[in-house]
Structure 1
Amino acid sequence: MGERVPTVYLLVGLTGAGKTTYARRVLEPGGVVRLAVDEVVFARYGRYGVDYPASEYFAIEAPVVAELRGQLGELVAAGRDVVWDHGLWPRGDREALKAVVEATGGRWRLLYFPVGRGELLRRLAERNRRGGANALPVTAADLDDFIGRFEVPVGEGEEIVGPEWFGGEGLASGRGVS
């Protein structure tokens, strides 16, 4: 028997797709460490578009991503399973994190949460009423902008996480794992 290889779950999906809910309900209870960019940004700077201008988000987010990427490498090197709870919209971001995982001795699973625009709008309206770290106030126009910038993972070893996981069924289908 070889040494256990830590797994890093890279969550991919638009705002409101269910990434954080999945991480909290499915992965964290099993001991997986969750690294959540939006929650660190919220803890340090407050609410997007409320406590700081939305136009400053990417400048604020970049050092948090770099910091958590360093923590990711340390956790994997220490043998811990980790979930990266952030959208990973551009393919280049996904590839960069895969490289960190592999360089530190882990294996990655790219979990993609495809959710249609109408359902995203419904979820976001509900979430926006709650407030908090994961409740970025997102308008329909914002969502359309997000959709336009999102690169759907295809041929990247992605696994589709469908709506049935809410009922405890887990992954809808697998299309490869590193």
Structure 2
Amino acid sequence: MTKRRCPHGDYEQQNGELYCPVHTVELDAPSEAPAEPSPEPTVETTAAVCWNCGIEAASPDNTRCARCNRDLVDVPLRLRFDSGKTIDVPRGESIRIGRDPKWSPHWQLVEQWGKVSRRHASVFHDEQRRGWITGETTTNGTWINGREIPPGQATLLSEGDEIRLGKDFRAVIGYPNGGGHGNR
């Protein structure tokens, strides 16, 4: 037998009484059947849409676009240096390149290059999967494909661009599996 409850919720019928002795209110009538549990919310998985050509993937499990063969997952911006070392910059993040260990976590890559300034440049990978470089005010400049860029001005990078810091330190911009924007 289901018992009556106080509408305030802190008293349950004990001996057939119709009123709550604590709140002096009528007890609620017992429900005829227990309430059905609410159904579990359904999570609908949707297929990714290719950032490059706009086509929806055939299945949520696809990781590459069927039309252009680009990755459907986040792809980092990659700097490949002449030394063979690489730095991946995840989408929405930036890195700093320079010889100052307090300013750049990658200072060891450039410490032997005297023409690279202590605080030389920053590379940013934005939410639209585009890469940008901003050179600091330096003695030896920041260059893209042989053209010096003005200090403090963010400049769009494209896959295959060559960055030069100072006289000799070079890196090439790329995206693993061809996954970036910014092609000119």
The two structures share one fold, judged by TM-score above 0.5: no
Q: Which has the larger radius of gyration?
A: 2
TM-score (norm 2): 0.23
TM-score (norm 1): 0.24
**Larger RCO: Structure 1 or Structure 2 (Cα < 8 Å, ≥ 6 residues apart)?**
1
